[in-house]
Amino acid sequence: MLIAQISDPHIRPAGQLYQGVADSNRMFEEAIDHLHGLDRKPDLVLLTGDLVDDGRPDEYAQVRHLLAKLTIPYLVIPGNHDHRENFRAAFADHAYLPAEGALHYCIDDHAVRIVALDSCIPGLHHGGIDAQGLAWLQRTLETDRIKPTLLMLHHPPFMSGIPYMDTYRYMDTAPLEAIVRSASNIELVLCGHVHRTMLRRWAGTVVCSCPSSTTEIALQLAADAAPASFMGRPGCMLHLWNEAHGMVSHVSHIGKMQGPYPFA
C-alpha cells in the first residue's frame, strides 16, 4: 500500500497569497499534479492539517475546489489554522468525520489501519487532546492489537528544538505517549505543523513530520531565534507499506529538477 501525505497547504481565497508572499493555491495544485504524476499511484492521500490559513468558509470553498481535481481517495484532519466547525461543514460529505465534537476517527478499510486524532484546541495554536479523546483512542487501539496501524495528528508530540515552533507544540504529551506505547502495532505516527521533515523515536514507534506544500519554516536552533520561513523546495511524504518489510517513508520533492540521468 502506498500512502501519500500532504500537509499545511494554507489555502487562501482565490487570488490571495499566503502571508503576502506564497501562491499557496497554485502550489497545492502542483502538489496534486505531482501525486498524479508519480510512477506508482498512491492508494490513499492523507492531509494532515492547516488546509486553510484563517479557517474561513471562502477558504474552504477554495480548498474543495482544488481537491476536486484529486483522483485519489483522501482523508483529512484539521490543524491549528483550521476552524473546526467550518472544517466539518466543508467536508460534510466525508462520512467518517464525527457530526459533533473533536474530529477523531478510524478507517479500517485498507491494509494499514488509519487512526486520526484532532489535536487542535479551538481558539489556540498549541496542541492537545482532552481526556475524552484519549479514552476514545485507548478504546480504538484496543479493538485491534495486530493489524499494522498508522496514527496521524497535526501537532508533533515532541520538542523540535526550533524555539518559535515549540511555543505552540503539543504540550502535555505524557498521557498520549502512554496510550501509544501500549499498542505495539503502531507502525508510524504522522503529523504536520512544522513545515519541514523531522523524525523521532517516540512511544515505542517513530514520528514523522511532513514538509509543507507551501513554505518551509527555517531550521534555527538558537533559543532567541526569530520566526522565519523560506520559499524552500515544497514536498510531500510517501509512506510505503509492505507486509514482508513493513513501512518505509520517503520525502518526495515537488517541482522540476534536472534529470533524470541514466545512472543510480
Residue 236 has a pLDDT of 98
| Predicted local confidence at residue 37, as pLDDT | 97
Mean of the per-residue pLDDT values for the chain?
97
6 sits in which H/E element: strand 2-6
My answer on whether omega of the bond before 260 falls inside 30° of 0, hence cis, is yes
> What are the pLDDT digits (tens) for 173-200?
999 999 999 999 999 999 999 999 999 9
Q: Is residue 42 situated within a structural domain?
A: yes
Model confidence pLDDT, tens digit, residues 62-111: 999 999 999 999 999 999 999 999 999 999 999 999 999 999 999 999 99
Residue 263 forms part of a structural domain:
no
Instruction: Report residue 254's pLDDT band, with 50, 70 and 90 as the boundaries.
Output: very high
For 20-41, what is each residue's pLDDT tens digit? 999 999 999 999 999 999 999 9
Quote the pLDDT of residue 68.
98
199-249, pLDDT tens digit by residue? 999 999 999 999 999 999 999 999 999 999 999 889 999 999 999 999 999
Range of the domain at 13: 2-253
228 in a structural domain: yes
Q: Number of structural domains, the chain?
A: 1
The predicted structure's pLDDT at residue 61: 98
Could you tell me if residue 258 is inside a domain? Answer: no
* pLDDT score at 127: 97
259 belongs to a structural domain: no
Q: What is the distance between the alpha carbons of residues 132 and 225, in angstroms, rounded to a whole number? A: 36
Q: Which three cell numbers stand for residue 35?
A: 501525486
In a domain, 178, yes or no: yes
Q: Is 164 helix (H, G, I), strand (E, B) or coil?
A: helix
In a domain, residue 264? The reply is: no
Predicted pLDDT of residue 232: 87
How many percent of the chain have pLDDT more than 90?
A: 98
CATH code of the domain containing 112: 3.60.21.10
pLDDT score for 83:
98
Q: Where do the DSSP E strands lie in 117-258? A: 149-152, 186-191, 199-202, 205-209, 216-217, 229-230, 235-242, 246-253
Write the CA distances from 164 to 120, 134, 223, integer angstroms. 18, 27, 9
